[in-house]
Amino acid sequence: MTGDRIIRGGATPRTPRTGSAGFGRRAGAVAALAGACVLAFAPPALAAPQINASKTTGLKVGDTITVQVTGMSPNETFVTLGQCKPGPKLPNDCAGQDTGGAILGATDAQGNFVTKDGSKDAKIKLVAEAGGADCTAKAGACVLAVTAPGNQGPNTAEIPLTFTGGGGGGGGGGDDDGSGGGTGDGTGSGGGGGGTTGGGDLPNTGSPDGLPTYAMIASALVMAGGAALLIIPRRRRDHS
């Protein structure tokens, strides 16, 4: 009988498990866990608010339009809505509240803008200038904008406004005495308008890149747990 070990029953000897194979399996498990947590904590895509106005073209200074805003974050307590220059960043980029060109409100549990008296129909009185911009100069010189100053990212939108005689194509220059070509007779089609264009470079008060803080914390916990899964077995081998 030799010193070699006899394998009974003709069984094939098992290949011993290598440390690299076990490491690979643990790394794969960590990657799968991290992916699952990212998906679990990822927030749904946020749509911009929808602004619907009774009239956005053929406007005249002094007109009062009815505005409804939907798709905002629920239960916001401080929301501004009004006539502004495009991409407003500061309060003075919009018409003053004393002119009727801007109002304060809130949102209800469904994310609808509501006025201080609880109405979903906001009344905006159009003015000639907003934020230093001449709203009658051309189409889109001013906009109807909404935002929640304390949570601007998902709650900011604007739609362009077109005043009669401003920005239309083909109109003549017109003299100071009213003669000449031009279409400033106060007529114009006034279809209601809606839109979801973003509100320019408004600062975002959320976490970096719009990633919610709780998702960042969850990712950090996953990484810490993964490191433990990889390190603890190695220490056990070193002590064995």
The pLDDT of residue 46: 56
Instruction: Please tell me the distance from the alpha carbon of residue 51 to that of residue 146, in angstroms, as a whole number.
Output: 8
CA atoms within 13 A on the CB side of 139: 6
| Extents of the domains making up the chain | 50-164+188-210
pTM over 0.85: no
**CATH number of the domain at 50-164+188-210, out of 2.60.40.720, 2.40.37.20, 2.30.30.230, 2.60.40.230?**
2.60.40.230
The pLDDT of residue 124: 98
Helix (H) or strand (E) holding 23: helix 19-41
Q: Which DSSP state fits 111? A: S
The pLDDT of residue 170: 37
> How far is the CA of 189 from the CAs of 30, 60, 121, 139, in angstroms?
62, 12, 22, 14
The pLDDT of residue 47: 75
Instruction: Please tell me the distance from the alpha carbon of residue 218 to that of residue 34, in angstroms, as a whole number.
Output: 9
Spatial contact of 158 and 140, defined as CB atoms under 8 Å apart? no
Q: Tokens standing for 116?
A: 């201080």
What does pLDDT average to in each consecutive run of 10 residues of the chain (240 residues)?
Answer: 49 53 58 50 65 98 98 97 96 95 98 97 98 97 97 96 67 40 40 43 34 43 52 55
